[in-house]
Structure 1
Amino acid sequence: MGGQRKRDVGMPKAMPMPKHFVEIMARADQPISAGFSFYAESTMPGVPGTGMPSSTRTVSRYGARSFIPQAGQNYEVTAGWGNDCAVQVVQLVIDTNGVVQRVPMPSQLAGACSVASGAPS
């Protein structure tokens, strides 16, 4: 979704809602994977008078999960920055009070797609 910050297709919303989200429609009974990339950069200034130069540190993480959506159901896939770049898949279920609840559901680790040699990038 490269840089997209918000797309709403009318799914039920569980609180709290993130500031940035993207909703998509997926085909039922067919596997779907969601991947998240995180990147952070920090700069440490040099120490004046010591000859110690400044340095830049970059960290990137990738996490993905795969699951099979069922017809008529709504799901949420979220990721959190951290040592494990945890990705969670939950089903959004409306309880008897009309409140949307997040119910954890089974999912599998999904890897990054490989790029074929000579394929356009």
Structure 2
Amino acid sequence: MNELFMIVVISLGTLFILLAAVGLVRMPDLYLRISVTTKAATLGVGLLLAGTALYFFEVSTTTRALAIIIFLFLTAPIGAHLIGRTSYFVGTPLWKRSVMDDLKGKYDKRTRELMSSEEEQKRTEEQN
């Protein structure tokens, strides 16, 4: 029973990594590629590590796998956010069929600081 569960977990991890690779090729712009690869690849690698911990089923291997999973789940979204934010500030264009740009007009181009909704409302009132 444990081997069957391990096979399912490792297979799901492999599937998610495959979906991340397909998403990397199929998505039209950088921001969607970052989103797809971060979510799918992080989950895929996490499942592969969980399968490894199930396979070896030793304290040292399991704790290492859990430490790597925790580190990966903490750092991958932060890294993707920073890459996306930097790309936006540098001027990497959105997909031509994007409907909405949530950050447009909400940050100071000189200091790269985002405005809160109150600051944005105050700025709109000053312009009118």
TM-score (norm. length: structure 1): 0.22
Structure with a larger share of its residues in helix: 2
Structure with a larger share of its residues in strand: 1
Structure showing greater Rg: 2
TM-score (norm. length: structure 2): 0.21
